[in-house]
Amino acid sequence: MKLIVFSGLPVILDSVVSTQSIRETWFHLSQQYQVGWRVIECICSDESFHRSQLVRRERKIPGWHELGWSDVEKAREYFLPWDEKHLVLDMIRPFEENFTKTICYCKGNSIL
Protein backbone atom coordinates (compact mmCIF):
# COMPACT_ATOMS: atom_id res chain seq x y z
CA MET A 1 0.00 0.00 0.00
CA LYS A 2 2.72 2.48 0.90
CA LEU A 3 4.37 1.95 -2.49
CA ILE A 4 1.14 2.80 -4.29
CA VAL A 5 0.59 5.95 -2.23
CA PHE A 6 4.21 6.98 -2.65
CA SER A 7 3.88 6.62 -6.44
CA GLY A 8 1.36 9.46 -6.48
CA LEU A 9 -1.45 7.33 -7.91
CA PRO A 10 -4.96 7.63 -6.44
CA VAL A 11 -5.87 4.88 -3.99
CA ILE A 12 -9.29 3.50 -3.16
CA LEU A 13 -9.57 1.46 -0.01
CA ASP A 14 -12.63 -0.78 -0.31
CA SER A 15 -13.11 -1.94 3.24
CA VAL A 16 -15.58 -1.86 6.11
CA VAL A 17 -13.00 0.11 8.16
CA SER A 18 -15.12 -0.60 11.20
CA THR A 19 -12.89 0.47 14.09
CA GLN A 20 -11.34 3.76 15.05
CA SER A 21 -7.82 2.32 15.14
CA ILE A 22 -8.07 1.12 11.52
CA ARG A 23 -9.46 4.49 10.43
CA GLU A 24 -6.66 6.34 12.20
CA THR A 25 -4.02 4.13 10.60
CA TRP A 26 -5.31 4.89 7.09
CA PHE A 27 -5.78 8.58 7.86
CA HIS A 28 -2.24 8.95 9.23
CA LEU A 29 -0.86 7.17 6.19
CA SER A 30 -2.63 9.67 3.93
CA GLN A 31 -1.17 12.52 6.00
CA GLN A 32 2.31 11.00 5.93
CA TYR A 33 2.28 10.87 2.12
CA GLN A 34 0.35 14.15 1.75
CA VAL A 35 -2.48 12.67 -0.28
CA GLY A 36 -6.16 13.54 -0.16
CA TRP A 37 -8.45 11.83 2.30
CA ARG A 38 -12.09 11.29 1.34
CA VAL A 39 -14.40 8.98 3.25
CA ILE A 40 -17.32 7.46 1.36
CA GLU A 41 -19.66 5.21 3.31
CA CYS A 42 -21.73 2.85 1.20
CA ILE A 43 -24.95 1.61 2.74
CA CYS A 44 -27.95 -0.32 1.48
CA SER A 45 -31.27 0.79 2.94
CA ASP A 46 -33.12 -2.21 1.50
CA GLU A 47 -32.12 -5.36 3.39
CA SER A 48 -33.64 -7.79 0.89
CA PHE A 49 -31.78 -6.11 -1.97
CA HIS A 50 -28.57 -6.17 0.08
CA ARG A 51 -28.95 -9.87 0.74
CA SER A 52 -29.64 -10.64 -2.92
CA GLN A 53 -26.54 -8.72 -4.02
CA LEU A 54 -24.41 -10.51 -1.46
CA VAL A 55 -25.60 -13.93 -2.61
CA ARG A 56 -24.77 -13.12 -6.26
CA ARG A 57 -21.38 -11.55 -5.57
CA GLU A 58 -18.18 -13.42 -6.42
CA ARG A 59 -15.08 -11.51 -5.38
CA LYS A 60 -12.70 -14.22 -6.57
CA ILE A 61 -9.91 -13.05 -4.28
CA PRO A 62 -7.40 -15.89 -3.89
CA GLY A 63 -7.35 -17.23 -0.34
CA TRP A 64 -10.44 -15.27 0.77
CA HIS A 65 -13.80 -16.83 1.45
CA GLU A 66 -16.98 -15.30 0.11
CA LEU A 67 -19.00 -13.40 2.68
CA GLY A 68 -22.42 -14.47 3.88
CA TRP A 69 -25.23 -12.55 5.56
CA SER A 70 -23.91 -13.64 8.98
CA ASP A 71 -20.67 -11.75 8.18
CA VAL A 72 -22.68 -8.59 7.50
CA GLU A 73 -24.56 -8.98 10.79
CA LYS A 74 -21.33 -9.55 12.68
CA ALA A 75 -19.73 -6.43 11.19
CA ARG A 76 -22.78 -4.39 12.19
CA GLU A 77 -22.15 -5.36 15.83
CA TYR A 78 -18.76 -3.64 16.01
CA PHE A 79 -19.06 -0.98 13.30
CA LEU A 80 -18.56 2.52 14.71
CA PRO A 81 -20.43 5.38 13.05
CA TRP A 82 -18.16 7.88 11.34
CA ASP A 83 -17.71 11.05 13.40
CA GLU A 84 -16.13 13.09 10.62
CA LYS A 85 -17.67 14.69 7.57
CA HIS A 86 -18.12 12.08 4.85
CA LEU A 87 -20.28 11.12 1.90
CA VAL A 88 -22.94 8.44 2.37
CA LEU A 89 -24.12 6.58 -0.72
CA ASP A 90 -27.15 4.31 -0.69
CA MET A 91 -26.64 1.41 -3.08
CA ILE A 92 -30.38 1.27 -3.74
CA ARG A 93 -30.04 4.57 -5.62
CA PRO A 94 -29.20 4.55 -9.35
CA PHE A 95 -25.55 4.02 -10.22
CA GLU A 96 -25.37 7.30 -12.17
CA GLU A 97 -26.58 9.29 -9.16
CA ASN A 98 -24.05 7.71 -6.81
CA PHE A 99 -21.27 8.05 -9.37
CA THR A 100 -21.98 11.76 -9.87
CA LYS A 101 -22.04 12.37 -6.12
CA THR A 102 -18.73 10.50 -5.75
CA ILE A 103 -16.98 12.49 -8.47
CA CYS A 104 -18.21 15.80 -7.04
CA TYR A 105 -17.16 14.82 -3.53
CA CYS A 106 -13.70 13.62 -4.58
CA LYS A 107 -13.11 16.83 -6.52
CA GLY A 108 -13.84 18.80 -3.37
CA ASN A 109 -17.27 20.09 -4.38
CA SER A 110 -19.58 20.24 -1.40
CA ILE A 111 -22.57 17.92 -1.72
CA LEU A 112 -22.88 17.02 1.96
Helix 47-56 / helix 69-78 crossing angle, nearest 10 deg: 120
Instruction: Indicate the DSSP class of residue 93.
Output: S
Q: What is the pLDDT of residues 79-98, one digit of tens each?
A: 999 998 899 999 999 999 99
Euclidean distance between CA atoms 3 and 88, whole angstroms? 28
pTM for the full model? Answer: 0.81
Confidence of residue 58 (pLDDT cuts 50, 70, 90): confident
Q: Return the pLDDT at 57.
A: 86
Give the chain's count of helices (H) and strands (E).
Answer: 5, 2
pLDDT at 110: 62
Task: Reply yes or no on whether the pLDDT at 14 is more than 90.
Answer: no
Q: Per-residue pLDDT tens for 22-37?
A: 999 989 988 888 888 8
Instruction: Give the start-to-end residue ranges of the domains of the chain.
Output: 1-37, 40-112
